[in-house]
Amino acid sequence: MAHSASPTHSGDGETRRDFLYLAAAGFGALGTAVAVWPLIDSMNPSAEVLALSSTEVDLAPIEVGQRITVVWRGKPIFIDRRSQEAIDAARAVSVEDLPDPQADEDRVQKAEWLVMIGICTHLGCIPKGQTAGDPRGEFGGWFCPCHGSHYDTAGRIRKGPAPKNLFIPPYEFTADTALFIG
């Protein structure tokens, strides 16, 4: 503070100087942040990864009661063409008693087609139940062998450590037998 030696102007001088310091530092910080952002953002998903962020599935070959797995964004998607018994079983449950209450109607767009992300909501394992002979758990849906989570025919958690129902990806039916995920 060289100018503060002059007592009459010290107040004014210091205020102006403080402002200049703050403005310079603030501008420098802002400029640094703007310069650093591209570095950080370069680690976000790139254009070619985003381009693969949707998946189309032809549902025509799938028979009633059959389950298939497709890949969307590197994650397994379980598609289940449910039988009437499976739908009835899922709708017969009292919703309030579930660990993660959700009605079956809220989990499907068409009752016959259940579409879910096939990743256990506990620690990210892939539940069993997609292929014939797999254990399907106590509720006829899916069973995660890692830590024993049981999912029902609507993919809802019924027993075990998982906190949530299997997640539903964004999807739509572009035709009667054409599914668009993403």
Residues making contact with other proteins (CB under 8 A) = 40, 43-46, 49, 53, 69, 71, 73-76, 123-126, 145-148, 161, 163
Query: Which of 9, 122, 147, 150 does the annotation list as catalytic?
Result: 147
Minimal distance, residue 26 CB to other proteins, in Å = 25
CA distance readout (Å), 111 to 8, 82, 91, 125, 178: 84, 8, 10, 26, 15
3 as an active site residue: the answer is: no
Q: CB-wise, 89 or 136, nearer to other proteins? A: 136
Q: CB-wise, 93 or 144, nearer to other proteins? A: 144
Q: CB-wise, 35 or 40, nearer to other proteins? A: 40
| Of 114, 93, 110, 113, residue with least CA distance to 158 | 93
> In sequence order, what are the residues at sequence separation of 6 or more whose Cβ sits closer than 8 angstroms to the Cβ of residue 52?
73
Instruction: Give the C-alpha separation, 132 to 16, whole Å.
Output: 78
Minimal distance, residue 125 CB to other proteins, in Å = 4
> In sequence order, what are the residues at sequence separation of 6 or more whose Cβ sits closer than 8 angstroms to the Cβ of residue 89?
139, 140, 152, 153
Minimal distance, residue 56 CB to other proteins, in Å = 17
Segments in the chain forming alpha helices (H): 10-41, 47-51, 84-91
Q: CB-wise, 70 or 103, nearer to other proteins? A: 70
Minimal distance, residue 72 CB to other proteins, in Å = 8
> In sequence order, what are the residues at sequence separation of 6 or more whose Cβ sits closer than 8 angstroms to the Cβ of residue 140?
86, 89, 152, 153
In the sheet where 55-58 sits, what is the strand order?
A: 55-58, 178-181, 171-175
Q: Give the residue numbers marked as catalytic.
A: 147
